[in-house]
Structure 1
Amino acid sequence: MSEETDARQVMAPLAATRTDAMPAERTEPFQAAKTAEPAEATAPLERMSMGLSGTELQTMARNRGFAVDESTGDRMIKSLEGVLDSLTARWEELQKLQKDPPLSGTSTARWVSGHMVATAADERGLLTQLQEARAEFPKYIDAIKQAKQNYQQRDDDTRDALGKLEPQE
């Protein structure tokens, strides 16, 4: 048996999804998620996307589609900025995931190395997701800032409306 065949046999069980070995209560969410997918063929990222893009969130905020109070907005912004700062500080190190890791020269090691690089940078890979986050988070921050203004405007409008009401006796 060749080293390459041996590597495939060793790695195949690791790559297989085995919901049949899980207890029934653990497989139900997987089955429900599977049946919830659209019938028509869609790109993997379109199926994965469950949230709003930064641009959509900005549009909602500009159209006063949502509002957030000062304190909550500040905490949200602080959290997003913390993630962005962390990504920026570690970005150079994260880029190493695009290069083959230093493994031995065996067929198995070469296969594992290639698989690691391919999955880190594919459409669902860690680097791809982190790059998208780096691009989207500033838009989220801008939308939250607008939503804070929306909240203040709604508060002012409500105060004005209540001030115009005549007391009932």
Structure 2
Amino acid sequence: MPNTEESEPLGAVAPMRLSSAVPAEPHMVARLSGTQLKAMATSGGFSVDDTTGNRMIHALEAALETLETRWADLEKLQHDPPMSESPAARWVGRHMVDTASDAEGLLTQLRTARREIPVYVAAIQLAKRTYRETETGVRGRLHGIRREIDPGEV
């Protein structure tokens, strides 16, 4: 039974930490960069079978294609929207632009996605190769064990 003094209240979810560089604050979302995912794939910390990896790649490439197709329209968010010249309209327009372009804004996030999706795809391709190599190695070891157990059967 867990120590109630140290355990979280029922229903509480501990913030996820991907590294010590990512702050674990309730309002923060942990992000995994393409570079981090690639490093995990290289080290064997992330591997995926071909079918699942292909589905992931297809989904990411479709998202990137949609983003690229609509990019010109999305970039309009970095300019004041056509509104009246009243002080309130100017304030609202400026606020919309600032919100879209700030550190957590839509345009900022979409620019990051455009840059990161190709790196994610490369990481998934590497993870697929890691999975195949691991699977081949395990099959070879199992085949060797089987020969040791019953040399006449193989």
Which residue of the partner structure matches residue 84 of structure 1? 64
- 1:1-169 correspondence to structure 2 within 5 Å: 48-165=28-145, 166-167=148-149
TM-score (norm 1): 0.71
Distance 2:99 2:128 in 1: 39
Distance across 2 between alignment mates of 1:159 and 1:134: 38
Q: Aligned partner of 2:98: which letter?
A: A
Identity of aligned residues (%): 47
- Counterpart residue identity of residue 74, structure 2: L
Deviation at 1:67, TM superposition (A): 0.8
The runs of at least 4 aligned residues of structure 1 exceeding 2 Å deviation read: none
The alignment partner of 2:149 has SS state of coil
The SS at the match of 1:48 is coil
Deviation of the 1:49 alpha carbon: 4.3
Higher relative contact order (CA 8 A, sep 6+): 1
Shift of 1:145: 0.2
Is there any run of 5+ residues in structure 2 with no aligned partner, and where?
Answer: 1-10, 16-21
Instruction: Compare the two structures and name the one with the higher helix fraction.
Output: 1
Q: TM-score, normalised by structure 2?
A: 0.77
Q: Distance in 2 between matches of 1:161 and 1:63?
A: 20
